[in-house]
Structure 1
């Protein structure tokens, strides 16, 4: 089964309303995928892929400091002191003061800069590459079933994400930790993506996708997960 089929199976088993998104980090700019035409935030890129677009983006196409920093496309030291300190977040109500921003950043996951030059996005059922991370918007029940499928044969628990930027929690974290990650997103991403109150987020490392999809299928034959 290829990754496109995995995407179809996820939709079949979970009845997803939103297409799972395949994400891949690339050392070089890919030649077989179109570059994004304009700047947008990382969370907007996810929505574009969810709606069927396939493209890659470099630091030049990343319109948000967080997206560039957490995805490893830029070094935070390239930004002004206002950005590096997090002072710009205080008037927006994201944090009370700079020390709170700094303490939060200490525990946030990011990909080291200087390694990757592009990030590729595509709906999973159209992806022509092997994804590093699969990102999904789903409801609580669907998310619960994915977490059960992850634990079904491994006994492993997923990682719960806090309200940090989703380019960190739902992209960099599953990439770096290699674990299924779930959360609710951050206030800016939820607004940018136009999410419903009931929507949650879950990301699966590409290396776990086959196992999770297979387990979802097997679970459908068991008492608690049989479809009524």
Structure 2
């Protein structure tokens, strides 16, 4: 089946200064025949990085995933009882005991089994299908622009959800199923750090499709770099004081 063609104009993202290109992600029940299958085996957390290195789109299926990310995607043929028992985290030394691992598992958000059979990825220059998520990676000073564009007209709170393991859930299934923008910081997750997916401190922001129109509209009108951040500390303190003084004078004049 052919994936729905691209509808949104994401070209504004090219102006934000991301060294790594943004990546579109699409979750599919049917095989996307218009896209090539990934030719190698990777963890789910590595798929965005792989898309950033490729000039064309690809899709993955259960056979391409070599970690527990297939569990987040609902692709696990059978959940191994030893994983459900929390033994992975205990044996790897991530958790003190299996009980801690089991408690951590209660936080995960995952797709129902069989609901997602394929996941397509494409960096911005190769994106010709309408994505479910846009994923951004880079330093906070660049990713912050996307977060601020979410809040600019809505007042929405920045929120980061993550656990020491299974960060694929927080990058993919959590934002898709909740409709919430999420960001995670590399160096806080066991698998992503061990696989050297990104440099420690790199921020990944995952934006679900309901936020596309809001963020795109706000990016077209807001300051990409707030004036307060660009004029220097002393100049801004002077401007800030003048602003407060003007507001106080206006309030007094209006009788408040």
TM-score by length of 2: 0.79
CA shift at 1:79, angstroms?
3.2
- Give the number of the structure with larger relative contact order, counting CA–CA contacts within 8 Å between residues 6 or more apart: 1
Partner of 1:113: 113
Distance 1:166 1:218 in 2: 33
CA contact (8 A) 1:5 1:125 kept: no
Number of residue pairs matched by the alignment: 222
Partner of 1:19: 21
Q: Which is higher, the Rg of structure 1 or of structure 2?
A: 2
2:212 matched to 1:209?
yes
2:144 matched to 1:144?
yes
RMSD of the TM alignment (CA)? 2.2
CA shift at 1:206, angstroms?
2.1
Q: What stretches of structure 1 of length at least 5 have no aligned partner?
A: none
* 1:149-188 alignment, distance < 5 Å: 149-163=149-163, 164-185=165-186, 186-188=189-191
CA contact (8 A) 2:46 2:197 kept: no
The correspondence for 2:45, drawn from 43, 46, 50, is 43
Distance 1:98 1:130 in 2: 41
Partner of 1:199: 202
Distance 1:44 1:120 in 2: 13
Distance 2:145 2:182 in 1: 13
Distance 1:156 1:167 in 2: 24
Q: What stretches of structure 2 of length at least 5 have no aligned partner?
A: 1-5, 232-256
Distance 1:214 1:21 in 2: 19
User: After the TM superposition, which parts of structure 1 deviate over 3 Å for at least 4 consecutive aligned residues?
Assistant: 2-5, 221-228
Distance 2:194 2:212 in 1: 28
Q: 1:222 to 1:62 in 2, by over 3 A?
A: closer
